[in-house]
Amino acid sequence: MASIRDLKKDINFVLGDIIEAAYFWEASNPGEDHKEAEAIVDDSITLFDELIAKVNDQSVENRRKHLKAVNAELEEKATQLAERVNAL
């Protein structure tokens, strides 16, 4: 784990790319139903808020282990969101 700042940037960039991909799909498929793409965007924003709150949590006992768990959660859930975007 390089730094907390880098973790926050990773969260922002990864989830921002997923949101961008969902919006791109909506723009390139105007005749399709956009409810699933909108759900992906909403889930990405919710995940962003949750992960940033976890990173900012100062009350954890082992901070390094906690941040590694947050990073692992980002990878796992971002992969799931990316799979949902690919399935559109």
Q: What is the pLDDT of residues 9-29, one digit of tens each?
A: 999 999 999 999 999 999 999
**Mean pLDDT (whole number) for 37-51:** 96
Tell me the residue range of the domain where 54 lies.
Answer: 4-86
Q: What is the DSSP-derived secondary structure letter of residue 76?
A: H
Residue by residue, DSSP assigns 17-47 as: HHHHHHHHHHHH-TTS--HHHHHHHHHHHHH
Q: What b/e readout covers 8-25, taking b as 16+ CB neighbours within 10 angstroms?
A: eebbeebbeebbebbeeb
The answer on pLDDT for 1 being more than 60 is no
* Residue type, position 22, single letter: A
The answer on pLDDT for 70 being more than 60 is yes
Question: Residue 88: what pLDDT?
Answer: 87
Distance between CA atoms of 17 and 19, rounded to whole angstroms? 5
Q: How many domains does the chain have?
A: 1
Helices and strands counted in the chain (H then E): 3, 0
